[in-house]
Amino acid sequence: MNSTTWKQAWWLTRTDFKRDRLNWIWTILFTLYCAAITGSFLTGTGLREMRAQDYTLVVHNIFLLFVPFLGFFFSRRSFRYIQDDSYTQMLSYMRRLPIPASTIIWSRIFQMLVAFAVNSVIFFTVIYFLTLRAEHFRFDQVLAFSLLWIGYGVVANAFYIYSEFAVNGKYCFLLSVVSFVFLSFVALTAAILDWNLIQFSIEHSQKWGLLAPGMWIMLVSGILLMTFSFKRTKKKLLLRDVS
């Protein structure tokens, strides 16, 4: 990415944030709400005594379904993408401007990164004070736990970003429903098999800190999938009819 693309993409990102800056309030409140619910479940069960049949299905669903949305912020476009096909309208508008496809995609990636930076600090800080502090987590262990799940969130966002640009609003919604059902099935399967993904990630991060293999696997997977998604999305944008 050259400096011109970087400047244009960041300008688009700042423009979107300024236009919807009041929606950051709802984004932050929703993140606090989900963090409080998650932390209360973890605290109520006790990390060492968590039983799959009691609470882990709920906690798995929260982490698997909600963590990817730490990379989003509430906006008029995201609220109206089904009714008005707002993403397609945005692309149609961008096509009339001297803005290359790569700049549009980088702008969306910047939005994701900023949203992750803000929402993740809120979400995992609440989790720390409600749960991880009682387990005597050090800063590097909290960071490892956070980055592990953020890496997972980036993996999921690689698919979400492609769907936003590659298909219209109705198909994008359909893909979101399929994703929701799939992740719910993963959470249910883990609970049935007594696999506590949350407890594993906590203990894994506590044991290894920033050397945690799981954290690095998720981060590298996120980067690779986002790179692949970028290339596929750019190719799709150049061919897609948004008239």
pLDDT band at 1 (very low <50, low <70, confident <90, very high): low
| Residue 226: per-residue pLDDT | 95
Q: Region 163-179: what's the mean pLDDT?
A: 80
Q: Pick the residue with more confidence: 131 or 88?
A: 131
Amino acid at 81: Y
Is the overall model pTM greater than 0.75, yes or no? yes
What is the rounded CA–CA span in Å between residue 90 and residue 101?
Answer: 12
Q: What local confidence, expressed as pLDDT, does residue 74 receive?
A: 77
Percent above pLDDT 90 for the chain: 37
- Most confident region among 88-92, 101-105, 194-198 by mean pLDDT: 101-105
> What's the confidence (pLDDT) of residue 148?
97
Q: For residues 141 and 209, is the Cβ–Cβ distance under 8 A? A: yes
Confidence class for position 224, pLDDT limits 50, 70, 90: very high
Domain ranges of the chain: 3-75+93-166+187-239
Query: Three-class SS string for 141-195?
Result: HHHHHHHHHHHHHHHHHHHHHHHHHHCCHHHHHHHHHHHHHHHHHHHHHHHHCCC
Total residue length of the chain: 243
Work out the mean pLDDT of the chain and round it to a whole number. Answer: 84
